[in-house]
Structure 1
Amino acid sequence: MTDFQLYFELGRAHIMDITAYDHILFVMALCTIYQVAEWKKVLILVTAFTIGHSLTLALVTLDLIAVNSAVVEFLIPVTILITALGNIRKRNVDFHQRASRTNYFFALFFGLIHGLGFSNYLKALLGTDTDIIGQLFAFNVGLEVGQVLIVLIFMGIAAVLHFFFHIARRDWILAVSSAIAGIAVMLMIETKFW
């Protein structure tokens, strides 16, 4: 297995790890308000998240910034909660260009926080290896592929439920976002930040 394959797989596994489901919840929260026909917007959205995630991973791994793990572990579910509550607030509103741009900004900004959550582990994993840039690139490509797979599965389920069970978009957004918000609150309570 090449270095690229190894770090690609680490990135893909990181985002799809069911035991560390905070990233999955966040990606689901990002996608809840969109329909399959809006796949280009969703792709831009998860790519914005990956860019933010990649930036802070690189900054910490290259020793350009340091992070307080307890604060980051608390902030990650906060980002999930804010995204879910934003979905609930917008559930009756048809999206237009300005709302989409706002979502892209939040995905990018919240990606910065999520990247901090995994950065110390990745930094320890990389150690003093000389090809750190190549490994970071491979990791982030794997991360993006994993996110796209999550989006495909999640939006596929949503499409099936809409088509076969005629679940209204408004009800879907309310139900999924409320569940995600509840889980995010539980994750916030469980952190050692308190």
Structure 2
Amino acid sequence: MSLFSLIWFVSIPTQAHLLNMTRITLQQGPNQNIAMTVVIDLTRATGGGENYFQLAQSASPILQQPILDIAQRIQAASLITINGQGLRLNLVSVNLPQSLPKEDFTSSLAWPMSTFVFNAAIPVDLTPIETAIVKATFTSQFEFEEPIALSIQQTAQKRSLNRWLVRNQQSPSFDLYAPTTSLEESTPNVWSEYIWQGIIHILPKGWDHALFVLGLFLGARRIRDLLLWVTGFTLGHTVTLGLAAYGAIEVSPVIIEPIIALSIAWIAIENISQPATNNVQTSTWWRLGVVVIFGLMHGLGFALALKELGFPAQGFMSALISFNIGVELAQLTIIAIAFMVLGHWYKNKHWRARVVVPGSAIIACIAISLMVLHIY
């Protein structure tokens, strides 16, 4: 149970409340302005459900001082820039959930959402130029419920950028005046580039992930077991890679990198300690569960690499999927090379003694050394 306890402990800071997350839309209007709509749960900001309910009963919430104070704090915490120049937000309207019963405000299972609308003029000296790079950061000056689902929209060309952020995390760049490109023009370049990036983040850059796959190869007694484990590993890292890419999960490398090293050592040591006569079916399903859990951790490691690489403002989903395809191609390449080098030993009676045990011992020593380096 120690493995599962460790994973649970590490995952606690990464949990996000998706049902009451803050939703913020930045939309370019026809009159060279930007409207910012903030849909948010004000339970914490108002000091509790009772206070929130009382404020919601006001016929003119925009005239209430507590609401004006909250609006000012949202303004101060919302750093919206175009080409590095900050925009000045002005409060336009406030809509509180007046029609909801009091029970919804005090219940831990309901999240009444309020809507604030702000407006900001695009500086005149920016309107004639060809690029207007929008970036947004929402700081800890206000208690935004996380994750923050941000959408930056250019209505005339029907372009948008959608991301999940946490407080103090800057959004990717979005060019308001970028020329429209068709899917046919943009997709091939995005796919080819990010498939290649996925490959090289395993071979040669991600040799720790490669060691994990080699450990799975050495521990497999049947080809179908190996395919099952690799599939489970893929599912695990795909989930957390996607969530982390959207900003729903953010974990420090200080935490993730030692856990990835631990996962490699765990698989290698398990290869050595597993009795040769152990029930194949039991060990297959046990390992599948372990591999899926470690896959979740490796996905966060891939996300760290993607954060350094960055995503294009357009074609985000294509980039994410193609990067993952590149990772899978690299994993399959590792397995194919391992079969070419060691395949003639696979059915040999000395396979375990001469290949699995010494190979796993080398992998375990490397992984433990790596884990110690990451910790200290």
Deviation at 1:100, TM superposition (A): 1.0
CA drift at 1:88: 0.8
Shift of 1:41: 2.1
Higher strand share: 2
Letter in 1 for 2:199: R
Task: Please point out which of 66, 87, 96 is paired with 2:280.
Answer: 96
Aligned match of 1:77: 261
- Tell me the residue number matched to 2:96: none
In the alignment, the residues of structure 2 paired with residue 75 and residue 152 of structure 1 have an alpha-carbon distance, to the nearest angstrom, of 26
Per the alignment, in what secondary structure is the counterpart of residue 92 of structure 1?
Answer: coil
Query: 1:133 Cα deviation (Å)?
Result: 1.8
Q: Residue 250 of structure 2 aligns with which residue?
A: 66
User: What secondary structure is seen at the aligned counterpart in 2 of 1:32?
Assistant: helix
**Residue identity in the other structure for 1:183:** I
Structure 1 residue 91 displacement after superposition:
4.4
**Within 2, Cα distance between the matches of 1:20 and 1:6?**
17
Q: 1:2 aligned to 2:185?
A: no
Is it true that 1:154 corresponds to 2:341 in the alignment?
A: no
120-129 or 99-108: which moved more? 120-129
Question: Structure 1 residue aligned with 2:203, among 8, 11, 16?
Answer: 16
User: Counterpart in 2 of 1:31?
Assistant: 217
Cα distance in 2 between the residues matched to 1:128 and 1:143: 19
Residue in 1 aligned with 2:352?
Answer: 170
Residues paired across the two proteins, number = 188
Task: Say if 1:88 and 1:173, in contact at 8 Å, map to a contact too.
Answer: yes
**Contact 2:257–2:301 (8 Å) recurs in 1:** yes
C-alpha distance in 2 between matches for 1:184 and 1:89: 16
* Larger RCO, structure (CA 8 Å, separation 6 or more): 1
What is the rounded CA distance, in whole Å, between the counterparts of 1:95 and 1:168 in structure 2?
A: 19
Q: Which moved more, 1:21-30 or 1:118-127?
A: 118-127
- Summarize the Cα distance change of 1:41–1:162 in structure 2 as closer, same or farther, 3 Å threshold: closer
TM-score, normalised on structure 2? 0.47
Equivalent-residue separation in structure 1 for 2:218 and 2:266 (angstroms): 13
What SS is found at the alignment partner of 2:202?
A: helix
For the aligned residue pairs, the C-alpha RMSD in angstroms reads: 1.9
Contact kept? 1:47, 1:144, Cα under 8 Å = no
| Distance in 2 of aligned mates of 1:95 and 1:175 | 22
SS at match of 1:64: coil
Q: Answer yes or no: is the 8 Å Cα contact 1:43–1:148 preserved in 2.
A: no
1:179 Cα offset (Å): 0.8
Alpha carbons 1:91, 1:170 under 8 Å: kept: no
State how far apart, in whole Å, the 2-side matches of 1:54 and 1:2 are: 22
Q: Deviations over 1:51-70 (max 9, x none)?
A: 11111111111010111111
Larger Rg over CA atoms: 2
Cα displacement (A) at 1:167: 6.7
Identity of aligned residues (%): 30
For 1:126 and 1:55, the matched residues in 2 are separated by: 18
**Aligned 8 A contact 2:229 2:288 in 1:** yes
2:297 aligns with: 113
Secondary structure at 1:16's aligned position in 2?
A: coil
**Mapped partners of 2:274, 2:324: distance in 1:** 30
Aligned amino acid, residue 26 of structure 1: F
- Once the two structures are superposed, residues 69-97 of structure 1 have per-residue CA deviations (whole angstroms, 9 ceiling, x without a partner) of 11111111100111111111114235522
Given that 1:46 and 1:144 are in contact with CA atoms closer than 8 Å, whether structure 2 keeps it comes out as no
CA contact (8 A) 1:91 1:174 kept: no
Q: Is the 8 A contact 2:228 2:288 kept in 1?
A: yes
SS at match of 1:2: helix
User: Equivalent of 2:364, from 142, 157, 181?
Assistant: 181
Give 1:169's aligned amino acid: W
Does residue 1:125 correspond to 2:309, yes or no?
yes
Q: Which stretches of structure 1, 4 residues or longer, exceed 6 Å deviation after superposition?
A: none
Would you tell me which structure has more helix in proportion to its own residues? 1
Counterpart CA distance in 2 for 1:70 and 1:77 is 12
